[in-house]
Amino acid sequence: MGLLVLPASDYFVGLLIFPKVKPSSNKDEISPRALEGISTIIACHNEVDHIELKVRAIQSQFKDAGVETYEIIVVSDGSNDGSNKVLERLATENTIVYSLVTVRQGKPNALNVGVEIAQYPLLLFSDVRQTFEKNSIKYLLSNLSDPEVGAVTAQLELEGKASPSRKFMNRLKQLESLKGSTTGMCGALYLIRHSLVLKPFPKDIILDDLLVALNVMKNDKRVVLEPRAIVRDVNWDLFYSGRRQGRITAGLVQIIRHHRGLLFSIGLKQLIFLYGQKYLKYVAPVLFAAASVSALFTTSEIRFWHFAISGSLFLLLVIARPMFVGETLRLVLSYMAQLLKLDKYRKIKWER
């Protein structure tokens, strides 16, 4: 009850009953139009087929948003596939600010290099592979009219057949955002005030976007989701690969082990949101399995009610939302498997 039912209830009930955060009465007239400038930071490793397309896409987004003062910083992290030649040409054209890390050191180091170079008060972080919907950056910027908003994240959508589990996750993040801050940052595209960036990123950090969100909240600013700013990624099966889930699992364990001080600086409400968004998917299956085993050794009445209620709820969900249940079971089983293989993901690995 204490570890599973009550925290889960706090999360889902809290998302319903917490009042919406009221915007600040003060208005920031400068940031939504990036009048003082915006720096884009892209970490790149072996993206010869995609990097120029991404740079041109961001230029087009800035033009549509009416942003005139900007820079696009691309940090090549030990690329050896021809990406550097493309970047050198773009730098010669004054399209980008190009920085080369000759020996591959990982994404956190590349981000540190980019942040150190950046000269403007707003930072836009973008990955190379994903695509954006039109006006996504404009929509992100619009949230900065509230000076209490420290960071704005895009919404992730997956290619192919609509995923009910992804839709459910996005809805939870939207509710978190409305009621406070979301911890579900989309690392492929987010905007942050330069003064709130964690400096430097730990060289071994796995979930850099989550660490950014926690640091913003530590500074009493909000992290909000902009549902109109849409990032498109690969299909469900590719996105939720075992390797990616393994890195997420290792990253969440790393946050608990090495950044507990940051966790407990964000306030109780946000800690509940973090638990529900990130950790409940691990805790709930383990505790439910433990409860089921324990029920086998109790009275027949307790055993009957435990399995009858659990079975009935599961059957109702299967009938009502079969695809959602199927995706959820696959995710849960995969995450449980990754808990057994944490050592495999201790070292930072670049994921394209």
pLDDT in tens, 102-114: 999 999 999 999 9
**SS3 call for 139:** helix
Q: Would the pLDDT of 348 be above 50?
A: no
pLDDT digits (tens, 9 = 90+) for 17-59: 999 999 999 999 999 999 999 999 999 999 999 999 999 999 9
Q: ∠ CA(145), CA(150), CA(154), 5° rounding? A: 85
pTM: 0.92
Q: CB–CB of 276/12 below 8 Å? A: yes
- d(CA 178, CA 160) in angstroms, rounded, equals 28
pLDDT digits (tens, 9 = 90+) for 112-145: 999 999 999 999 999 999 999 999 999 999 999 9
How do the domains of the chain map onto residue ranges?
7-36+121-269
pLDDT digits (tens, 9 = 90+) for 175-213: 999 999 999 999 999 999 999 998 899 988 999 999 999
- d(CA 214, CA 198) in angstroms, rounded, equals 9
The candidate with the shortest Cα–Cα distance to 190, out of 154, 155, 223, is: 154
- What is the arrangement of strands in the sheet containing 38-44, beginning at the earlier edge strand? 97-101, 70-77, 38-44, 122-126, 189-193, 149-159, 222-235, 131-132
Residue 351 has a pLDDT of 47
Residue 244 has a pLDDT of 87
Q: Would the pLDDT of 345 be above 60?
A: no
Q: Would the pLDDT of 257 be above 70?
A: yes
